[in-house]
Amino acid sequence: MQKRLQPNRQPRKDVKCPVYADILIGMCGRYRLSRRAQVLRDHFGIDTEVDWSPRYNIAPTQPVPTVHQHRSEPKRECSLMRWGLIPYWSKDARIGASMINARAETVSSKAAFRDPLLYRRCLVPADGFYEWKRDGHSKQPYCFTAADDSLFAFAGLWDRWRAPDGTIVKSCAILTTTPNLVMADIHDRMPVILPADAYDLWLDPGFRDSATLCDLLKPFESSAMRRFSVSTRVNNVENDEPDCSAPFEPGKSAAVQETLFS
């Protein structure tokens, strides 16, 4: 039987996830998808139901919506998958917590990602992602969005894993690449944001030329992105409200913030 994932489920607190130990370990390790289900259906041409409510602080091991192509019919489907790819051959699901990302430069040669690159590619919808910049002894979070705040998609890979009790768990990873100018002074990696005209090729289940696929995994155009500092509320995975991605100027009081950004 296939395990149904609940879209707003929080990660278990009794399982130690190495990504949470230091918010700079993973890239991309936290993101936002604040659009509603119908907007996702319309934007990505999804032909199935979409089970999603807006979220502002999505973290590893949580269920996330993914878009993939039906293997034998010309339609796009949406599935909730656990973020953190569990290879089908793995003996332990906990490996997924350390496999939230796949590096574009090595994805075609790594055992965990080689087959998914050829046979199980997906889009991971988003409208923002977070990264932290070290400032002395503290870390300042930033939100990165499209310049026009539009919806976009990360390049993703997915796999199926069978648990000892027979339950099937679908899981995914987000591809990363070298940073563009908007990212470079904050982190040496950034998630691969695919241009809309690359969606068809990336999702095509019959296309298996790894060199051509890897050529799509480039840094997104800097001029099409923006960034702004946000509150440290986003540091805590239990905070999941619009304030997590609201512009915030460090050092200003809450009252002044409201004046600045209202």
Active site residues: 28, 131
Supply angle C-alpha 238, 155, 139, rounded to 5. Answer: 40
Taking the CB of residue 235, how many other CB atoms lie within 10 A of it? 17
